[in-house]
């Protein structure tokens, strides 16, 4: 895999993440109210700094309008980042990289807010490792051109995402999310018990994948499965939704969930292709030495 192909993979993956989140922010919602309506966190500030009661603050329509404006504004930022991620090159201007950095930081903050909204489950944050990690990886590569470190970092992001997904799927350390079971039931003609058993097995495999990524002899096999599972779980969102109704409204409701998860399949594929190419180069080098 040459540098151009690698960079294009990163750019396309980053584009899907930012475009999916932009769609969410512009047409739906994001968890900013988990902070701005957190009474324990903000009431002292509202009372003493702004000299306003908490009740007045939360019932004021201007508060909600401000949160909506913030959400749409961040959606605008993500839209710009999506465009930049496709057009940026190794010789692009500094302001483009600066905007991309701002978008990357914002995605990290968003993952933190989602974690807060899910009762501070730490694995919820790291389950988003690919989503917030890929924009960071793109910025890192554009600045350093260090392929080996980039691939190692991408492996870590993949391992974190699969480990955390597995912890939810086995339902031991954290409760099995209801939407996992619902999606499985909507897609497959099985019982609820069978769906839970299937998710448990998938969770165990997630752990195996996370470890196998760093074992050279099995890494490529692990990455192929990770690629397959990443695409399947991404498109499962919309397939599950279409089980209720096949319409544009359903597509509108679920498409952003698919977009920002597509890199869950693209990034393992990128690392797999890199390893295949590296092994081919080593084989050619050995053959050349033998022929000499």
Residues in Cβ contact with 24 at an 8 Å cutoff, skipping those fewer than 6 apart:
30, 75, 256, 260
Q: How confident is the model at residue 245 (pLDDT cuts 50, 70, 90)?
A: low
pLDDT computed for residue 292 by the predictor:
64
User: Residue 119 sits in which domain range?
Assistant: 3-291
pLDDT computed for residue 152 by the predictor:
97
Nearest alpha-carbon partner for 166 in 225, 112, 253? 225
pLDDT computed for residue 119 by the predictor:
87
- pLDDT exceeds 80 at position 291: no
pLDDT computed for residue 243 by the predictor:
64
| Model confidence pLDDT, tens digit, residues 77-123 | 999 999 999 999 888 889 999 999 999 999 999 999 999 998 899 99
pLDDT computed for residue 92 by the predictor:
81
Nearest alpha-carbon partner for 188 in 146, 130, 236, 117? 236
Q: How confident is the model at residue 255 (pLDDT cuts 50, 70, 90)?
A: very high
**Cα–Cα distance for residue pair 114/74, rounded to 1 Å:** 15
**Cα–Cα distance for residue pair 215/219, rounded to 1 Å:** 6
Residues in Cβ contact with 87 at an 8 Å cutoff, skipping those fewer than 6 apart:
96
- pLDDT exceeds 90 at position 287: no
Spacing of C-alpha 73 from chain mean position: 20
**Cα–Cα distance for residue pair 167/56, rounded to 1 Å:** 41
| Model confidence pLDDT, tens digit, residues 115-135 | 999 889 999 999 999 999 999
Q: How confident is the model at residue 244 (pLDDT cuts 50, 70, 90)?
A: low
**Cα–Cα distance for residue pair 213/172, rounded to 1 Å:** 24
| Model confidence pLDDT, tens digit, residues 187-200 | 999 999 999 999 99
pTM for the structure as a whole: 0.95
- Burial string for 118-154 (b: 16+ CB within 10 Å, else e) reads beebebbbbbbbbbbbbbbbbbbbbeeeeeeebbebb
**Angle at which helices 219-242 and 192-212 pack, to 10 degrees?**
150
Spacing of C-alpha 146 from chain mean position: 23
What percent of the chain has pLDDT above 90?
83
- For the chain, the domain total comes to 1
Which of 56-70, 155-169, 173-187, 200-214 shows the lowest per-residue confidence on average (mean pLDDT)? Answer: 173-187
CB 219: neighbour CB atoms within 10 A? Answer: 16
Nearest alpha-carbon partner for 167 in 121, 234, 103, 213? 121
- HSE, CB side, 13 Å, CA atoms: give it for residue 12: 14
CB 17: neighbour CB atoms within 10 A? Answer: 31
């Amino acid at each position: 895999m040459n540098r151009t192909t690698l960079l294009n993979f990163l750019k396309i993956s980053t584009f899907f993440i930012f475009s999916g989140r932009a769609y969410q922010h512009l047409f739906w919602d994001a968890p900013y109210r988990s902070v701005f309506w957190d009474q324990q966190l903000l009431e002292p500030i509202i009372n003493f700094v702004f000299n306003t009661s908490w009740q007045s603050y939360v019932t004021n329509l201007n508060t909600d309008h401000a949160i909506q404006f913030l959400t749409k504004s961040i959606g605008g930022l993500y839209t710009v980042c999506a465009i930049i991620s496709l057009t940026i090159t190794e010789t692009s201007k500094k302001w483009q990289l600066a905007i991309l950095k701002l978008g990357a930081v914002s995605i990290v903050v968003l993952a933190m807010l989602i974690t807060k909204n899910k009762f501070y489950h730490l694995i919820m944050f790291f389950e988003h490792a690919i989503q917030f990690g890929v924009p960071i990886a793109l910025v890192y590569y554009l600045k350093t051109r260090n392929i080996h470190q980039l691939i190692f970092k991408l492996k870590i992001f993949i391992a974190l995402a699969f480990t955390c997904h597995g912890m939810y799927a086995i339902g031991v350390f954290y409760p099995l999310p209801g939407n996992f079971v619902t999606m499985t039931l909507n897609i497959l003609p099985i019982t609820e018990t069978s769906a839970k058993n299937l998710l448990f097995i998938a969770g165990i495999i997630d752990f195996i994948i996370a470890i196998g990524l760093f074992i050279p002899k099995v890494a490529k096999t692990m990455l192929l499965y990770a690629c397959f599972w990443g695409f399947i779980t991404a498109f499962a969102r919309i397939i599950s939704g279409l089980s209720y109704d096949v319409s544009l409204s359903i597509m509108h409701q679920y498409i952003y969930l698919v977009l920002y998860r597509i890199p869950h399949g693209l990034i393992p594929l990128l690392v797999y292709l890199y390893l295949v190419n590296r092994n081919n180069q080593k084989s050619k080098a050995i053959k050349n030495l033998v022929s000499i």
